A and B are shown apart, each in its own frame.
Chain A
Amino acid sequence: MADGSDGLSPSMSPSESQSPEDARYEHYVARFVRYEPDLRRFIRSLLPTRTDADDVLQQTALVLWRKFDQYDLNTNFMKWACVVARFEALAYRRKMARDRLVFREDVFELMADEGEEEIRDRQAEHNALEGCLAELPEKQRQLITLAYTPGIKVKEMAEEAGSTAAAFYMRVKRLRHQLLECVEKKIQQQAGQAS
């Protein structure tokens, strides 16, 4: 949020009958639920697969809750959560550093530093993408969705089927690139309208 607060007022409190612990809990859940997608996206940009990101997000959620009494309700929750998430991702990275697709520590730090400053850009991209997907012809949308569906072993089928699979990947790459262009165009248009 522009003003530095997280947009959830501390006075937006649960009913009178609740214990302070319940109230604290609800404050936490309200915030976590709101920022969970952003946090997941931030973590995902630092780690190679979505499973890695899920593990780290899970861990981050627990740590945030444990430390929630240290959190000042008037400050930016996302900023605070990013610090924790980044630390958890780094720890996770060290454990699995032998995996060849893990960023080196210097690259990781740079990506995390800069990524933290771009949370709002990410939200805008996500929203723009939703529109771009909706505008895609049905068949192309199904193709890209299929390529990203968990558990779809296109790769295995690809190996068996030879060159046609390469064509499949080529189409996915092309679509991804097309979507990136569409997202950038949409964001530019919005920036144009706002000014």
Chain B
Amino acid sequence: MKPSKFSQLSGQEQNWLDDYLDGTIGQDEFSAMQDHMIQSSAFRKVMRRYLSIDHSLEVFSGETEEISPWAQPLSTQVKAPIFRLASLLPIAAAAALAFFLGSLFTKDSAPEDVIATPERSAEGFAVVSALFDAVWRDDKSSRQPGDTLSAEVFTLASGTAEIQFFSGAYMTVEGPAEILLKSAWEAECRNGAVRMKVPPAARGFKLQAPSAEIVDLGTEFGLSVRGGHGEIEVFDGEISVQGRGGKEQFFEKGNAVTVLPSGTVADSQSGIIKFPDARHLKPEADSGRERWQTHRDTLSRDPRLIAYYTFEKNKSQALIPNLAMPRNTDLDGAVILAESATGRWPNVQSALEFRRPGSRVRVNLPGEFPALTFMTWVRIDSLDRQYNALFMGDGYENGEPHWQICDDGKMMLSVMVDDSKQHPQHAKSRFHHVYFSPPIWNLSMSGQWMHLASVYDPAKELVSHFVNGKQISREAIKPDFNVKTLRIGNGEIGNWGQPFREDPSFAIRNLNGRMDEIAIFHEALTEKAIAKLFEESRSNRSH
């Protein structure tokens, strides 16, 4: 542990503190610690700070019991909702529980090697509803429309973003901006200009500036923060503003105030500051799409391809051309019931939707392959079926792959090893093995586009799964289960043709969602290659 520059604690003091906080301190040590507390005011001071942080962590991690010795409702003036970050975190923590305890306590003998959780947290309290020429500071802060946001610092280098909080409040942010998102009811503008629109249902939304707190009483207002200096203008309705250390003041439509870094609130003139307004902006579309089209044309010439399909609306609704060069029309796909839908670019019908149970794209991909890589851009709306198809070989015969998502959000890739032999553990199934990823999806991610890839690599005896260009898990193929000759033949995108059981929960596997492209390779693509293809095909990019 690094020695602290600030709270100077001896090793003994640090141990006492940790053990006291964890409730594991022994009687004698507790007594010795208290003797020391009487002696050292410095130690007491650090201790109070530690206790305070300990308490804050309790508050953030689980809602402490509600204290309500009264039955009457609060008056409207003070009805700023007391929602805190804490009310949202337990869900995320519970979701993380299995994963963490699993990864901490399982022995190395576990077959699955979980490398990382998917990039972004599944839980959230706000969503990026639109972007206009958004430029991000770095890759890590980059967001796409539809991304859910949780407690985090939202950083926009330039351009405009619209964030919709689950409370109903709408925030338009203009970069450069740095916003700390705290909950569906609270945010802090550290820098930048924002416009808040707060419908009645979100009344009480709190926006903090460096030296003031604004509570929205059902209205529209702007806040601009530059260098610790705040400018507020009320466009409609009423807000309350409280400067640091000052009293709460109310302002109505047409008022403008300045908040000085000291917290002093002073009248100002309206109309001076230009606040962001998304009404006149067009969602970003074309630049990203042109880049994707270049990617598509390059990828088409990739000799590792078995087939490559994109789903832009074309003249022949029923036919999806296989773009892999040299062009072979025998590998074109036939669309059944799946409908054209908006894809990753606003207002462009570049995707197919497999919402109706019979929806599918049928293909025939003959040949034998030494390895398989599947890669797709997909938007999952919900996982309605027990198994939700991405790409499935018809039936499930020797060497044929099934690539799908389980209803618990795990990606699955499996290949039939021997369909004449019974599975050693499962009486009802034949000899095969399913390679699962950790959960990559839950309902809060509904409607988000994501890039998925899975690799079956007989030479390296490895199956791996990827989300947004990053490997998230891999599992060794045991010698008995290794299939060296892979086949596809007749197969389906987004559903399963010719299932071998008639039970609907087993047989119906249409994906409730959209797909925008899918590529199948006869090689095991490396992590680097997958990351590159993800980068080149994504609809937005950071700088």
| Residue ranges of B at the interface with A (Cβ–Cβ < 8 Å) | 1, 4-7, 14, 18, 20-23, 25, 27, 30, 34, 37-38, 41, 44-45, 47-62, 64-65, 67, 69-70, 72, 74-75, 77-78, 82, 85, 89-90, 92-94, 96-97, 100-101, 104-105, 116-117, 120-121, 151-153, 180-182, 228, 242, 245-248, 261
A74 within 8 A of B: no
Please name all residues of chain B whose beta carbon is closer than 8 Å to the beta carbon of A110 when the two chains form the complex.
Answer: 37-38, 44
Shortest Cβ gap from A155 to chain B (Å): 9
Chain A interfacial residues counted at CB < 8 A: 86
Q: Residues 72-87 of chain A: 1 if any B CB is under 8 Å from the residue's CB, otherwise 0?
A: 0000000000000000
Please name all residues of chain B whose beta carbon is closer than 8 Å to the beta carbon of A142 when the two chains form the complex.
Answer: 92-93, 96, 100, 121
Cross-interface CB contact of A44 among B51, B72, B180, B261, cutoff 8 Å? B51
Q: A134-B180, A138-B121 are in contact. List 8 more A-B contacts (CB 8 A).
A: A26-B74, A48-B23, A62-B69, A126-B59, A130-B180, A146-B93, A149-B89, A149-B94
Q: Flag if A7 contacts B242 (CB, 8 Å).
A: yes
A29 within 8 A of B: yes
Which of A2, A110, A133, A157 has most B Cβ within 10 Å?
Answer: A133
A150 within 8 A of B: yes
Shortest Cβ gap from A101 to chain B (Å): 6
Q: Flag if A164 contacts B104 (CB, 8 Å).
A: yes
Q: Flag if B7 contacts A184 (CB, 8 Å).
A: yes
Q: Residues 96-140 of chain A: 1 if any B CB is under 8 Å from the residue's CB, otherwise 0?
A: 000011011011001100110010011001100111011100110
Shortest Cβ gap from B126 to chain A (Å): 13
Q: What is the bound-complex CA distance between A46 and B542, given in angstroms?
A: 49
Q: What is the bound-complex CA distance between A133 and B131, given in angstroms?
A: 26
Please name all residues of chain A whose beta carbon is closer than 8 Å to the beta carbon of B23 when the two chains form the complex.
Answer: 48-49, 101
Q: Flag if A164 contacts B85 (CB, 8 Å).
A: no
Q: Flag if A180 contacts B100 (CB, 8 Å).
A: no
Q: Flag if A145 contacts B34 (CB, 8 Å).
A: no
Q: Flag if B85 contacts A167 (CB, 8 Å).
A: no
Cross-interface CB contact of B182 among A100, A130, A146, A177, cutoff 8 Å? A130
Cross-interface CB contact of B61 among A26, A44, A145, A193, cutoff 8 Å? A145
Shortest Cβ gap from B95 to chain A (Å): 9
Q: Flag if A176 contacts B75 (CB, 8 Å).
A: no
Shortest Cβ gap from A151 to chain B (Å): 8
Q: Flag if B56 contacts A134 (CB, 8 Å).
A: no
- Of residues 159 through 195 on chain A, the ones whose CB sits less than 8 Å from some CB of chain B are 161, 164-165, 167-169, 173-174, 176-177, 179-181, 183-185, 188, 193-194
| Dominant secondary structure of chain A at its interface with chain B | helix
Which of B44, B59, B242 has most A Cβ within 10 Å?
Answer: B59
Q: A30-B75, A37-B59, A100-B27 are in contact. Are A146 and B248 (CB under 8 A)?
A: no
Shortest Cβ gap from A157 to chain B (Å): 6
Q: Flag if B56 contacts A129 (CB, 8 Å).
A: yes
Q: Flag if A111 contacts B117 (CB, 8 Å).
A: no
Q: Flag if A126 contacts B56 (CB, 8 Å).
A: yes
Q: Flag if B48 contacts A148 (CB, 8 Å).
A: no
Cross-interface CB contact of B62 among A26, A34, A126, A149, cutoff 8 Å? A149
Q: A44-B51, A101-B30, A125-B52 are in contact. Are A25 and B44 (CB under 8 A)?
A: no
Please name all residues of chain B whose beta carbon is closer than 8 Å to the beta carbon of A49 when the two chains form the complex.
Answer: 23
Q: Flag if B62 contacts A148 (CB, 8 Å).
A: yes
Q: Flag if A181 contacts B5 (CB, 8 Å).
A: yes
Shortest Cβ gap from A99 to chain B (Å): 11
A36 within 8 A of B: yes
Q: Flag if B245 contacts A1 (CB, 8 Å).
A: yes
Q: Flag if B180 contacts A65 (CB, 8 Å).
A: no
Q: Flag if A131 contacts B6 (CB, 8 Å).
A: no
Cross-interface CB contact of A100 among B30, B105, B152, B242, cutoff 8 Å? B30
A94 within 8 A of B: no
Q: Residues 19-58 of chain A: 1 if any B CB is under 8 Å from the residue's CB, otherwise 0?
A: 0001001100110011011001100110011100110011
Q: What is the bound-complex CA distance between A49 and B20, given in angstroms?
A: 10
Q: What is the bound-complex CA distance between A54 and B63, given in angstroms?
A: 11
Q: What is the bound-complex CA distance between A72 and B18, given in angstroms?
A: 41
